[in-house]
A and B are shown apart, each in its own frame.
Chain A
Amino acid sequence: MSMSIRTLTRVLAATACLAAPLPLFASAPAPGDAGTPDSTLARGAYLATASDCTACHTVPGGQPMAGGLKIESPVGEIFSTNITPSTSAGIGDYSEAEFSEALRHGIRADGANLYPAMPYTAYTHLSDADIHALYVYFMQGVEPVDEPAPETQLPFPMNLRFAMKAWNLLFLDDTQIEDDPRRSAEWNRGRYLAEGPAHCGTCHTPRGFLMQEKDGEAMAGAQVGPWYAPNITPDLADGIGSWSHYELFTYLKTGKLDQAQAAGSMAEAISHSFQHLSDADLRAIAIYIESLPAIGSTANADGKVEASAAHDQNRFSHGEASEALASFRGDGYAEGLKGDSRGAQIYSANCASCHQPDGSGTADGYYPRLYENGVLGDDNASNLLATILYGVDRETEAGGHVFMPPFGEQSNAFNSLENDEIAALANYLLGHFGETDEAGKAVLEVTPEDVQVIRDGGPGSPLVMLARIGMGVGALVVVLLVGYWLIRRRRRF
């Protein structure tokens, strides 16, 4: 009898998710300055940025922290709450203890449980001092907004919040993270940030059937609605072991490398959170992530990359610049859409202007190359299809406002492509820029049905249905048992 929504699966709406600037100190000084009330407030603001509260609690273009963002989860819609210090509609009445309970244990001031869409399983690791600073920030640094956010109404039995108590008993590890004295201060800082405020595992760690993060598979990759948060362990073949430290740092700061560009939830995380952290904190996070046990085909049982693994194949190494223009150029658009040239024609008409006819992108990398690109080279097509359907919107100081239009049903869609068109396009892309076998055929194949799944917001969860069935069966068993007992009682008398 456990049901939970843990995955932050947000179907990005067509509206550009503009980073709502945090009130006060969006790029606050690094924490560690203790003492003065001003610096506590600044530290709280910085921590709120690091925890990316705004990503869920601010509707794009709306009032900061006023909630109301609809989060599509595999088990239903969840609305984020108003966490401004409004006493009527927000958390203005919360004591610091109640604030701490919500962040660390997922329990509201009124005693009800929060769904783990609120990543309290990560925030539980926040230190007392940091909880205090966050509290000060939310009470004094955020404008109160008296408009209540919509109530979350999940389908039965997910609406039984008390069931979260059982889930928490099983899966919430609320121990404080103790510094490891064998490790550097930087590594410890990185672990604190990654496991706590930045809550990387929330997206990147695969989940079990009851949607808990799986032990022993930290950061090995997981589906997040229509997107896939890939393996970011140091495995050379399946993770990001091929990245240099500077590359990982740059990725966190800008969301962009030649071989990888952040989109979906990660673009939001970079735009709202990572780009505002100090360089020292980003380096620390990178150091920690690089130290994780490697999980993948070049790692041994101890989580170390095999010394003998001379590996040059990974999701960033496939494909080359290539094009199939001669198969349709000069024939006319309608003709080009027929037969074998269909995928190539769709690519030319919709993608080549920016990504160039041969997929090499622009020299400045603003429009990325499509070969040797982690999206095209992966063994999971979710990110490819999600990028096409939902586009990319990412704004950083270093990289400017990066924007790729969507191709779904949005009113600003460049072109609303059908499932079969996207499938043809994806197969063209995978054949030219993805992993291919010895015969040159793409290893991955996309069907129109695959496209529909991504269009629907990602694979759904059978949890609701199974929970209902489970409860129905349970109830039936109870009825039968009671009935049997009653009959037996009658028989006795």
Chain B
Amino acid sequence: MQNSNKTPGVSRRQLLIGGASLLGSFTFAGPTLAWAKDFEDTPLHQRFMRLSQLLVNHRLNEGVGLRIAAFAAQKHADLSGMIGQIVEIAEQRDATEVEQFFDAIPEGELRDLAYWVIAAWYSGASSAAADAEPFTYEHALTYQTTLDIVPIPSFGLSGPNGWSRPPAPLMPVPRF
């Protein structure tokens, strides 16, 4: 769980690799800066990972990102453009952490997308609904915030009867 260096690509999700429903070329509404051109040519999921990394400053699993991106692409016709806009805001502020640029994301579609991306990584699902799309369970970040003391249900933290050790303090949040 902590170490996810081998995540084979999701071959089933052909959607992302040259799928017809994806945008073939990504054009931005905004000014064409040098960095944007580079960004423009990378596959959608890599760009989505770039966005995710800016919004969620933790180790993120690429395979899970692929699933979230594929789902988002189905919901937003201009996902790529939206990603570009949010990333641009972050870059304009030289931001490496979400706190440094989140307030600058305009309310409405973009901010909703940002919140949705964060929620997808933390909850591992596309929403709180019963029929939400599951993206991950083991990699859902909500569990990482408490994994020093609370197991991810169905993955106990110790051998038998090992849960009466003194608990961790409330803060800080463990690193993940």
Contact = CB atoms under 8 A, between A and B. Distances in A.
A322 interface: yes
A331 B70 CA distance: 14
A322 B133 CA distance: 25
Contact of A363 (B6, B11, B155, B158): B158
A321 B61 CA distance: 14
B116 to A, nearest CB: 17
Contact of B1 (A326, A330, A357, A367): A357
A323 B160 contact: no
Interface stretch (A95-103, A170-178, A300-308, A348-356): A348-356
Nearest to A341: B8
Contact of B156 (A329, A331, A354): A354
Contacts of A400: 159-160
Contacts of A360: 1-3
B157 A362 contact: yes
Contacts of B154: 353
B88 interface: no
Contacts of A329: 134-138
Contact of A326 (B61, B133, B155, B158): B61
Interface residues of B, number: 32
B138 A325 contact: yes
B62 to A, nearest CB: 7
A35 B160 CA distance: 45
A353 B3 contact: no
Nearest to B137: A329
A362 B6 contact: no
Interface residues of A, number: 27
B14 interface: no
A358 B4 contact: yes
A284 B58 CA distance: 51
Contacts of A367: 159
A55 to B, nearest CB: 25
B20 to A, nearest CB: 21
Interface string B131-151: 001111111000000000000
B64 interface: yes
B92 interface: no
A367 B137 CA distance: 21
Given A330-B133, A330-B136, A323 B67 contact: no
Contacts of B1: 323, 356-358, 360
A326 B3 contact: no
Contacts of A364: 158-159, 162
B67 A326 contact: yes
Which of A327, A339, A363, A367 is the most central at the interface, judged by chain B CB atoms within 10 Å of its CB? A327
B7 interface: yes
A362 B163 CA distance: 12
B96 to A, nearest CB: 25
Nearest to B64: A326
A358 B4 CA distance: 8
Interface in A450-470: none
A444 interface: no
B3 A322 contact: yes
Interface string A428-466: 000010000000000000000000000000000000000
B10 interface: yes
Interface in A319-347: 320-327, 329-331, 339-340
Contacts of B4: 322-323, 325, 358
A323 B159 CA distance: 21
Given A362-B158, A364-B158, A325 B63 contact: yes
Interface of B: 1-8, 10-12, 61-64, 66-67, 133-139, 154-160, 162
